[in-house]
């Protein structure tokens, strides 16, 4: 049976993800920053909440946990973090959990926060996927609120090692603004021009641009391309100094993006 994933918009630009096996009612939600749209989705599709998955401690990813637990006595999976007291099963690098008939492996991906993890799976009969929170976005990456450029670079490299077909389920609709920045970094990229057309059409139709795929991100996401000459050259020019490594390139383009 295939894994069904529902997109739940929340706040201004968040996406919450609810998944279950086709034909089964037990459903699991990823990063419920708000309980109300989750409860509405469960009711709409006649599903029962069976568990909660958390990637990191920011309120727009955790704010709905308490309200959901008042209605459903379910496990809460997430990082070993003092900032998320509701977690009942702490997870770290290499841990595995089986939910909705699907084995998820846990990746530690600090940078945006120090407690950030991702959930990677290869469902039966479907493309591999990863719920990666705010570390990797379509054409972008998360701000470095707690971690270092080196941590973010290593975390992105860990995600970049997944198969090209991996579906990237990130937590925000930042794609068009990220693509505008990516174009400033690589103005001659044909892949970026094509992605801007495709994703602009989706947004004009009220459709999400997520999930993207890792293969597409390798071609269009500057934060996965810090080792390549065009990105390194653009970062060097912007910073007006010689950059010695892909980590320094990432640091420069992240600062550039912060003020873009």
Q: What is the pLDDT of residues 16-30, one digit of tens each?
A: 999 999 999 999 999
Q: Taking 80 as the threshold, does the pLDDT of residue 1 lie above it? A: no
Fold of 3-258: Metallo-beta-lactamase; Chain A (3.60.15)
Set 31, 116, 172, 199: catalytic member:
172
Mean pLDDT of 121-138: 92
Sort strands 76-79 and 89-91 into parallel, antiparallel or unpaired: parallel
Q: Taking 80 as the threshold, does the pLDDT of residue 117 lie above it? A: yes
Is residue 164 part of the annotated active site? The answer reads no
Set 58, 116, 120, 199: catalytic member:
58
Is residue 134 part of the annotated active site? The answer reads yes
Q: Tokens representing 147?
A: 């971690």
The pLDDT, as a whole number, for residue 123 is: 81
Mean pLDDT of 126-130: 92
CA torsion angle for 46, 126, 140, 161 (degrees, to 10)?
140
Is residue 227 part of the annotated active site? The answer reads no
Is residue 120 part of the annotated active site? The answer reads no
Set 31, 34, 115, 134: catalytic member:
134
Set 20, 57, 112, 120: catalytic member:
112
Is residue 172 part of the annotated active site? The answer reads yes
Domain boundaries, the chain: 3-258
Is residue 60 part of the annotated active site? The answer reads yes
The pLDDT, as a whole number, for residue 84 is: 96
* CA end-to-end distance (rounded Å), the chain: 44
Q: What are phi and psi of 248, to 5 degrees?
A: -65, -35
Q: Which pTM value belongs to this model?
A: 0.96
The pLDDT, as a whole number, for residue 86 is: 96
Band of pLDDT at residue 124, cut at 50, 70 and 90: confident
DSSP string, 38-103: HHHHHHHTT-EEEEEE-S---HHHHTTHHHHHHH----EEEES-TT-TT-SEEE-TT-EEEETTEE
């Amino acid at each position: 049976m295939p894994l069904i994933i529902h997109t739940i918009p929340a706040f201004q630009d968040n996406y919450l993800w609810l998944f279950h096996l086709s034909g089964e009612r037990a459903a699991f939600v990823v990063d419920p920053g708000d309980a109300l749209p989750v409860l509405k989705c469960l009711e709409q599709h006649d599903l029962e909440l069976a568990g909660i998955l958390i990637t990191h401690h920011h309120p727009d990813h955790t704010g709905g946990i308490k309200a959901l637990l008042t209605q459903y006595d379910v496990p809460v999976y997430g990082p070993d973090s003092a900032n998320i007291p509701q977690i009942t099963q702490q997870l770290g690098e290499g841990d595995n959990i089986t939910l909705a008939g699907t084995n998820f492996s846990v990746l530690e991906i600090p940078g945006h926060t120090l407690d950030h993890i991702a959930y990677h799976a290869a469902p039966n009969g479907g493309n591999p996927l990863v719920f990666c929170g705010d570390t990797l976005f379509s054409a972008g990456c998360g701000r470095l609120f707690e971690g270092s450029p080196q941590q973010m670079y290593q975390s992105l490299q860990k995600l970049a090692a997944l198969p090209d077909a991996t579906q990237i389920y990130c937590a925000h609709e930042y794609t068009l603004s990220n693509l505008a920045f990516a174009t400033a970094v690589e103005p001659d990229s044909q892949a970026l021009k094509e992605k801007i057309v495709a994703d602009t059409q989706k947004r004009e139709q009220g459709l999400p641009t997520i999930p993207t795929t890792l293969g597409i991100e390798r071609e269009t996401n500057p934060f996965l391309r810090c080792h390549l000459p065009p990105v390194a050259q653009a970062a060097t020019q912007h910073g007006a100094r010689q950059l010695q490594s892909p980590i320094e390139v990432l640091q420069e383009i992240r600062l550039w993006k912060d003020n873009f």
